[in-house]
Amino acid sequence: MGRVLSPMATRSIYCRSCWYTLDGLTDRRCPECGRRFDPADRRTYRTKPRRHWWVTVTRRIGLFLAAVLMVLAVVYFWTYSRYASEQRAILGIERAGGLVTSKSIAPDWFLARLPARFRIYFTRVDLVLLQRPKATDSDLDHVVSLKEITAVHLHGATVTDAGVAKLKACRKLKELGLSGARLTGTGLRDIGTIRTLEKLWLNGTSINDASLAYLSNLFKSSRTGSRFYQCNRRRFGPSERSQGS
């Protein structure tokens, strides 16, 4: 059993069972394990040499680490972009004389293991106080850009129906203070579409009982009984809904 150099050979071939090199064999049987092969039948031999196990393991670990780094990079840039956008909104609110409070959006165990300089990226504004006469409808553009906002208090602000219509974009809004706002029934109709709203203050407005009918569907039922709205010192809730219509 010997080998002959074939000028026709263009690539090495290997036994499918034991990876023995079969180049130039005159016998069509692997001298290592005895498995038969046919150079004309691609299914009877291999064309790639066997890699060492550590090469395969190293490559897989490398691919896994690359995937993890890519995911972390995407999460970081997404988190930072939202943080930067929120900071621009906060700056606009503060220029209008407002104040904000923030909350953490990450679990405590995660924040405990995070360096202090990165924790600020995982906080979001949840409450806005814009209780100044110079605050107008245009200032609410900054408020609606805050995705985690749950409470907005605009008592005494120069807000009209047009500004209130913008608040419909706040998908998590639970508290809304509009005492002293220049509202009409149109503004209340827009407020009535905010299904997450639980508390509403309308003291000092020109809203009448007929306009309050727009709120009847929003406040007529409450599983917790905590929903209410207050208009000109009168308080309405699930049990008093007939008074507001």
Determine which helix (DSSP H) or strand (DSSP E) holds 46, and give its type and residue range.
Answer: strand 45-46
CATH 3.30.413.10 fits 86-244, yes or no: no
Say if residues 177 and 155 touch (Cβ distance below 8 Å).
yes
Burial level of 135, CB count in 10 A (0-12/13-18/19+)? Answer: buried
Strand partners, 21: 14
**What is d(CA 33, CA 26) in angstroms, rounded to the nearest whole number?**
16
Q: In the prediction, which pLDDT does 219 show?
A: 66
- Reading the block at residue 229, the tokens are 């709205």
Query: pLDDT tens, 67-120?
Result: 999 999 998 898 889 889 999 999 999 998 899 999 988 888 988 888 888 888
Residue listed under structure tokens 């038969």: 36
Say if residues 205 and 183 touch (Cβ distance below 8 Å).
yes
Domain with CATH 3.80.10.10 in the chain: 86-244
pLDDT at 8 > cutoff 50:
no
- Which distant-in-sequence residues (6+ apart) come within 8 Å of 208 by Cβ? none
Residue listed under structure tokens 């999460």: 75
Query: pLDDT tens, 176-227?
Result: 999 888 888 888 888 888 888 888 998 888 888 788 888 877 766 444 445 7
Sheet order of strands, 234-236 included? 99-104, 123-129, 151-153, 175-177, 199-201, 228-231, 234-236
Residue listed under structure tokens 């001298």: 31
Query: pLDDT tens, 27-38?
Result: 888 988 988 998
What is the chain's mean pLDDT, rounded? Answer: 83
- Which distant-in-sequence residues (6+ apart) come within 8 Å of 162 by Cβ? 137
Give the lowest-confidence range in 60-69, 213-222, 235-244.
235-244
Neighbours of 50 (CB within 10 A): 13
Residue 15: what are its φ and ψ, rounded to 5°? -65, 140
Give the lowest-confidence range in 49-58, 153-162, 191-200, 228-237.
228-237
In this prediction the pTM is 0.65
The average pLDDT across 138-154 equals: 92
Say if residues 93 and 116 touch (Cβ distance below 8 Å).
no
